[in-house]
A = this chain, B = another copy of it.
Amino acid sequence: MPNITVELLRGRSIEQRRAFARAVADSAVEILGARRQDVRMVFTEITPDIVANGGVLASEDESRAGVVAALDGSD
């Protein structure tokens, strides 16, 4: 431990996952005092049609259209 799960919208590249995993492991070692080998992270990719905010699916949410569009096709 720590055992970390990261739900994020689909569209990040493997370079982003690699860099994020390393940065969070660094923070866990420095701030939480964890042993590096004990830091575990699992990413779960979410598509906009299976997440809803305020009762509205992200794929149909105009207020989030910018966020969703920015990620499309980037991986």
Contact = CB atoms under 8 A, between A and B. Distances in A.
B32 A42 contact: no
Interface residues of A, number: 53
Given A20-B32, A50-B45, A54-B39, A27 B27 contact: yes
B27 A24 contact: yes
Number of copies: 6
Given A1-B7, A17-B57, A20-B27, A32 B51 contact: no
B8 A37 contact: no
A55 interface: yes
Most interface-central of A16, A18, A36, A60 (chain B CB within 10 A) = A18
The list of the 7 closest CB pairs from A to B, nearest first, reads A25-B55, A21-B52, A23-B27, A2-B8, A3-B7, A43-B50, A22-B55
